[in-house]
């Protein structure tokens, strides 16, 4: 039994004394102890070495005592497993030297044996579960099929993912074939993570907001929904679409346990658009963690009041930034723990 099950109770919509709190990207680049590990090992070595991944996962928990841990990994381990080369270039980000843009390159994309290609993730989960010792739940995650397609086709990060959109609009048959391959792989991957011990999963649709509402339904949401349907009986699923406030109404009709909200959508609008019945997560602007700690605490309490303490998980509206002072991150977590109705 998990000793602090606040996060899991919030996902079930149960009444709680205070909402749970964790931060997207909490395991990583703003922590000095993470930077020490980063000096010694390159990015994918950190992801592929269970001892390192588990250590990075628990670092923020030791320091701040969040109500949930999220496994240190990356969404791009999935394309790697699917026979697509991914490099992580310093001061540049992800780089895929052979992007998928035609039938020939698409035929090289495989649906892998998860345990063969991504067994190291399952080993990291088991190592992390040992370190956590059932104190708090562990979250596993994957990128949405659309977000993974964006990188696979664009070949790198982008402000508008123009090549990815061109691929979808000019060659929709190939695009849907690629999206389905990613979806099938992601379902198998997340199911394996649950078997290995994660208590909940989150699907990150980081680039969903690049699409119009109509195109979002066609190229993103229907595939995320397949993942939710496949996982719903195994573990709670959180769907987070950055910039996707326009789809919240549709998303709320799904079997997701919770929906993530970014900082461009107010608590009131998020509750209104989702009908008030589903657990919501978010939506503190990560840059706001640069405000003075006293102000952060005030804003967090106000945010909880606006969302309501039940059916709510306190989080940022996207990942924590690398330049956030440690005391400010602490103020964010402490504000939630100190919250009284």
Q: Known catalytic residues?
A: 25, 29, 38, 74, 151
Distance CA 239, CA 204 (A): 7
Binding-site sequence positions: 25-29, 44, 74, 151, 206, 318
Distance CA 339, CA 305 (A): 10
Contact 109, 86 (CB under 8 A): no
Place of tokens 């195109």: 215
SS3 341: coil
Distance CA 202, CA 169 (A): 28
Q: What angle do CA 269, 338, 332 make, to 5 degrees?
A: 60
- 276 phi and psi angles, rounded to 5 deg: 75, 5
CA distances from 21 to 1, 137, 138, 145, 332 (A): 19, 12, 13, 27, 9
Closest CA to 128 of 82, 182, 61: 61
CA distances from 126 to 73, 76, 165, 315 (A): 14, 21, 38, 25
Question: In 53-143, which ranges are E strands?
Answer: 69-70, 87-89, 93-95, 138-143
83: left (phi over 0), alpha (psi -120 to 50) or beta: left
* Cβ-Cβ contacts under 8 Å for 295 (sequence gap 6 or more): none
How many other C-beta atoms are found inside a 10 Å radius of the C-beta of residue 255?
Answer: 12
Binding-site sequence positions for substrate: 25-29, 44, 74, 151, 206, 318
- Maximum distance among all alpha carbons in the chain? 59
Distance CA 338, CA 297 (A): 9
């Amino acid at each position: 039994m998990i000793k602090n099950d606040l996060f899991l109770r919030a996902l079930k919509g149960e009444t709680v004394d205070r909402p749970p709190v964790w931060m997207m990207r909490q395991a990583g680049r703003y922590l000095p102890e993470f930077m020490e590990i980063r000096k010694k090992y390159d990015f994918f070595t950190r992801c592929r070495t269970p001892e390192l991944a588990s250590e990075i996962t628990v670092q923020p928990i030791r320091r701040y005592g969040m109500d949930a841990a999220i496994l240190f990994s990356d969404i791009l381990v999935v394309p790697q497993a699917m026979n697509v080369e991914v490099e992580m270039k310093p001061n540049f980000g992800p780089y895929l030297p052979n992007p998928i843009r035609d039938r020939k390159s698409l035929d090289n994309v495989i649906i892998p044996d998860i345990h063969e290609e991504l067994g190291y993730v399952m080993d990291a989960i088991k190592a992390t579960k040992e370190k956590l010792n059932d104190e708090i739940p562990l979250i596993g995650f994957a990128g949405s099929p659309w977000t993974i397609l964006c990188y696979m086709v664009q070949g790198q990060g982008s402000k508008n993912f123009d090549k990815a959109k061109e691929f979808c609009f000019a060659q929709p048959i190939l695009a849907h074939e690629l999206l389905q391959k990613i979806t099938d792989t992601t379902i198998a991957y997340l199911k394996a993570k649950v078997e290995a011990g994660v208590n909940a999963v989150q699907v990150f649709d980081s680039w969903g907001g690049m699409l119009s509402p109509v195109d979002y339904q066609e190229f993103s949401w229907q595939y995320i929904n397949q993942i939710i349907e496949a996982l719903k009986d195994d573990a709670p699923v959180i769907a987070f679409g950055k910039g996707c406030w326009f789809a919240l109404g549709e998303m709320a009709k799904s079997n997701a346990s919770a929906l993530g909200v970014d900082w461009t959508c107010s608590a009131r609008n998020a509750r209104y658009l989702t009908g008030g019945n589903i657990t919501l997560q978010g939506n503190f602007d990560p840059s706001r963690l640069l405000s003075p700690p006293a102000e952060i605490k005030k804003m967090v309490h106000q945010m909880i009041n606006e969302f309501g303490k039940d059916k709510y998980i306190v989080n940022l509206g996207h990942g924590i930034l690398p330049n956030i002072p440690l005391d400010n991150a602490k103020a964010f977590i402490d504000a939630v723990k100190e919250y009284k109705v």
